[in-house]
Amino acid sequence: MQRALARVPQVLADEPAREALLAMAQMLPAEFLEGPLGLEFRLRGPRTVDFFAAAQPQGPSYQALCTALRQPLGEVGWLDPGRADDLAQVLQRWAAGTGALPAVARYLLVEVDAPAAPSAPVAVPSIFLAPRASRDANRPGQPPNAFQQRTEATTMAVAELSGVWPDPRTAQAFAEVVATLPAEADVFAVGAMVSRQAGSSMRVAIRRIRPEGIHEVLTAAGLAPQAEVVAAWAAGSPVADHAVAFEVGPGAESRVGLELSPSHDWKEARTDEWPALLDYVAQSELAEPDRLAAVPGLIDAVGDPLWGLAHVKFAVDQSGVVPGCKLYVGFIAREALPTPLPRRSSGELCD
């Protein structure tokens, strides 16, 4: 993480943010370095930085994560040790092939929010799931992935992560969303924001969805006011690759995230398409100009690790557009790069 932060300009992460991120990183296993890592920067407001990593069941990073949840590696510890231990037990059951998770999920994405201060306990990571039979490549005629085929089992899997009983109302709400999906759209992630709330709501992320599809899906989710605004933002954007993230079920928050990405995979570390997208962000007045100006400099196609930009994210709630937006950046050691580099695979780490 120190090597990563050496590339990040001060305007995107000030000293308190860096210290908090390093404190958080000390809680996590070094085995995460075997794959892509991600950082979430705020382009307005506090300069806190959050962290992402992926883990495959049976892989060394997965087992190390289970151990770290039970025995924190850093000095500050988990904010809720009991919840961390419960999560470790759930993940161990998945690795053993029991419970609801193996039936629908292929791997997990870990999101760790940086603590408010370097000495503050770290919130238990939020967990997002990638589906079995994932449709990473957009090929006409592909069958729906496991999340879309097995909505009740998917609800059970997320409830298991959340440490709650599955709620039939969540399953019904998710099924209604899936029923409205356009043919090309894909539920690429579901998850539980366990670090932020306890409840039976489920987070859903949908990729390859056009503005008209966004409107229909969000309306089916009971988010009609947000649907109007999010669809309009997507329609006005300079890119064709849109994704939305929102919650369904009892206690679901009203916020909807709109992710705008270029057509290429972030691991290609390309700069084309980003000028137009960053201009769109600038016109929105949701980003500080000095932070926005620093964004292109994060791309590094030749260094080790490689750095690429994944997407920007706006948020809309029941009162309208939420002030500020976020930037998601991925980096990966060159020895871990796939060969050849994949084409666009929206929904991978940081997508």
- Least Cα distance to 242 among 217, 220, 270 occurs for 217
What integer is the mean pLDDT of 140-163?
92
How many angstroms separate the CA atoms of 55 and 63, rounded? Answer: 9
- Least Cα distance to 251 among 333, 173, 150 occurs for 173
Residue 348 forms part of a structural domain: no
Residue 214 is predicted with a pLDDT of 97
How many angstroms separate the CA atoms of 303 and 297, rounded? Answer: 13
The overall average pLDDT reported for the chain is 90
Residue 78 is predicted with a pLDDT of 92
Whether the pTM exceeds 0.85: the reply is yes
Q: Tokens 């994932």 correspond to what residue?
A: 134
Whether the per-residue pLDDT at 281 is higher than 70: the answer is: yes
Residue 179 forms part of a structural domain: yes
Residue 343 forms part of a structural domain: no
For residue 64, the surrounding DSSP H or E stretch is: helix 60-70
Residue 340 is predicted with a pLDDT of 53
**pLDDT bracket for residue 70 (50, 70, 90):** very high
Residue 349 forms part of a structural domain: no
Print the domain residue range for 108. Answer: 2-336
Q: Which of 26-35, 143-152, 247-256 has the lowest mean pLDDT?
A: 26-35
> Which has the higher per-residue pLDDT, 73 or 68?
68
Residue 347 forms part of a structural domain: no
Residue 350 is predicted with a pLDDT of 40
29 is written with which tokens? 């296993």
What integer is the mean pLDDT of 100-127?
91
Residue 197 is predicted with a pLDDT of 61
Residue 346 forms part of a structural domain: no
Q: Tokens 């990183």 correspond to what residue?
A: 25
Residue 151 is predicted with a pLDDT of 97
Sign of CA dihedral 61, 65, 68, 70: negative
Residue 199 is predicted with a pLDDT of 74
> Which has the higher per-residue pLDDT, 341 or 259?
259
How many domains, in total, are found in the chain? 1
**pLDDT bracket for residue 343 (50, 70, 90):** very low
Residue 318 forms part of a structural domain: yes
Residue 76 is predicted with a pLDDT of 81
Residue 314 forms part of a structural domain: yes
